[in-house]
Structure 1
Amino acid sequence: MGRHALGLGALAVLLAACGSTAGGQADGPATAQPGPTLTRSTTPTPAASPVPSSTESSAEAGIDGCVTEKTGELFEYKRGGTTTKGVIMGKGPVGVVVSYERQGTVCTWLPLADRLVAAGHRVLLFDRNNTAAPEEDTVAMAGRLRKAGAEKVFLVGGSMGGRVSLLAAGELKPPPAGVISISGTIQPGEVDELRAPFLQVTGDADPDAPLDMLQVVYNEAVKSADRQLLVLSGGDHASRLFTGDQGPKALQAVVAFIEKHKG
């Protein structure tokens, strides 16, 4: 799928991935096809524990102070001279690879990971490898999940991680069972060839993922087997959607989408 640059002023904002504040109260999530339906609704992200000392072993040190060997199966992945740590949580035939936002961490995605594990799925979280073509890391993580026993793999990402997940979907063989973009900074023209089911989740007041841009992306994803755009009230961005007042709705939307398309 192509990578076209936007000539819009909003693109600069799209490519910056930072959190925002929450909005008002909600009645219930709305899935819009073909256009978004707004639902009115508006738990801060828990702070990470102190990072363990560098003298600890890799397994003991874990990831970002919030993931240890008790969380799941820890691993290391090396590419381009950089070592990336990751963890596979849970069991089951369905696997989910999470790619986080620019200012996110593995820790900020644990609420979603825990929910998916509780639903009987495997989840792979990994520290971002800050090299070129980050989608290659996501493709490699999907392969790791498949080797671990996952028969179907979904790609989930927040903000820039949503775009990374989409780009990885075009390289993954076999293709993913679905792509889920949370406040994703996907550019128009990048979804032209996407055939996998596609869920976008965003807040209607999120300045870093403007709703009009997500609507353009939704309208262009005509080859997707099942395109959905869920608009929640408020300005929470990426992983913050899971810990704010809209958290239950955002979490349920992701779980329901995976259940629908896991086969």
Structure 2
Amino acid sequence: MTGDQHRRRFLTTLGAVTATSLAGCSSGSSTDDQPATTDATDTATPDDTTGQSGTDTPGTGERQKDGGETATTTEPHTVEFESPAGTTVTGTLAGRGDCGVVFVPQIDLDRESWRPQLERFAAAGHHVLAIDEGERKTAAVRGAVQYLQSAHGIQQLVLVGASSGGEAVVEAAAAELAVDAVAALSPAGGSDAAGSLDARLLVVVSDGDEDRFVRTATDIYEGAAEPKELVTYDGATHGQGLFESEHRDRLRQTLDEFVTTACGDA
């Protein structure tokens, strides 16, 4: 990792972000393979702690949604933090580790749609955060980066987004310049920001998807600097739907290897 990247991370972490936790999670579902030890699919289930009283966790600024959780819990729990735009972002946080992975959904889904991936990467030893992007999606992603850096001391970061979320992670990384890797599945935009990326890049798209998504994926790939990879699948499956398609095993392996490489780079 270059000295410039360390300096940019240090400057980024100067801003403190207040994190709180809510009672319960928003609903939404997706299916995906469970961790690498099994090929079975699993249906994402929302958090069932709605209605429980929260308690403050000393020294963290986080408000946990249930009195039994602590600041070091690895179990999925809901958190809130502010974005640079002043909006409140809600996320599900899980795991523990030196490398953080942020998942951003496509426009018709929410953070719960990433639950299978969140649990799998948390089990692999990463600090994982899935967010609801809201209307200010790029700002929400930047807020997630700042939250993990300031509230949890995470300096290695991977952003993963699909469709509108793919656009958001590309644009946020180009503006933030403090993340190690970006994976965009069927990105809906971000071509103009690709040249400013200072991160490892993975772009995934189906060759039969709408022309605008195929074109955007190609433009982002061509506009970005190395290291980068463009993965194209047969068919017309879009965004997070790829995790339920015939390509799900290949996609899971590709994403696993991408995150492992990014988190292993020093």
TM-score, scaled relative to structure 1: 0.68
Asked if the contact 2:44/2:116 (under 8 Å) is kept, the reply is no
Secondary structure of 2:236's aligned partner: coil
In the other structure, the counterpart of 1:116 is: 121
Paired position in structure 2 for 1:260: 261
Equivalent of 1:143, from 123, 143, 146? 146
By how many angstroms is 1:209 displaced?
5.4
Counterpart amino acid of residue 230 in structure 1? V
User: Which of 222, 233, 239 is equivalent to 1:219?
Assistant: 222
1:206 is displaced (CA, Å) by 1.8
Answer 1 or 2: which has greater helix percent.
2
CA distance in structure 2 between the partners assigned to 1:123 and 1:81 by the alignment: 23
Confirm whether residue 197 of structure 1 aligns to residue 215 of structure 2.
no
Aligned to 1:169: 173
* Residue matched to 2:99: 94
Find the residue that maps to 2:196 and give its secondary structure: coil
Deviations 1:193-232 (A, max 9, x none): 22211100112222275324322322222xx231110112
What is the CA–CA distance in structure 2 between the aligned matches of 1:70 and 1:257, rounded to whole Å? 22
CA separation of 1:169/1:82 partners in 2, compared to 1, >3 Å: closer, same or farther? closer
Q: Deviations over 1:85-134 (max 9, x none)?
A: 21211111110111111001112112222222232211101222334xx2
Higher RCO by CA contacts (8 Å cutoff, separation 6 or greater): 1
Which one of the candidate residues 209, 215, 221 is aligned to 1:206?
209
Query: Secondary structure, in 3 states, of the residue corresponding to 1:189?
Result: helix
Q: 1:73 to 1:186 in 2, by over 3 A?
A: same
Q: Distance in 1 between matches of 2:74 and 2:190?
A: 38
Give 1:259's aligned amino acid.
Answer: T
1:40-84 CA-to-partner distances (Å, cap 9, x unmatched) read: xxx99947559886x554626xxxxxxxx9842421224677543
Aligned to 2:250: 249
Q: How does 1:127-142 map to 2 (within 5 A)?
A: 127-131=132-136, 134-142=137-145
Aligned partners of 1:141, 1:227: CA distance in 2, in Å? 23
Opposite residue 252 of structure 1, the aligned amino acid is Q
User: In the superposition, relative to structure 1, how do residues 189 and 91 fare at CA in structure 2: closer, same or farther (>3 Å)?
Assistant: same
Change in Cα spacing, 1:115 to 1:49, as seen in structure 2 (3 Å) is closer
Q: Which residue of 2 aligns with 1:228?
A: 229
Tell me if the contact between 1:199 and 1:227 (Cα under 8 Å) persists in the aligned partners: yes
Letter in 2 for 1:195: D
Unmatched 5+ stretches in structure 2: 1-39, 55-64, 67-72
- With over 3 angstroms needed to count, the CA separation of the structure-2 counterparts of 1:45 and 1:229, relative to structure 1, is farther
Amino acid at match of 1:184: P
**Preserved contact between residue 82 and residue 143 of structure 2 (Cα < 8 Å):** no
Which residue is equivalent to 2:187? 184
Separation (CA, whole Å) in 2 of partners of 1:197 and 1:109: 21
Kindly, what percent of the aligned residue pairs are identical? 24
Local SS of the residue matching 2:176 = coil
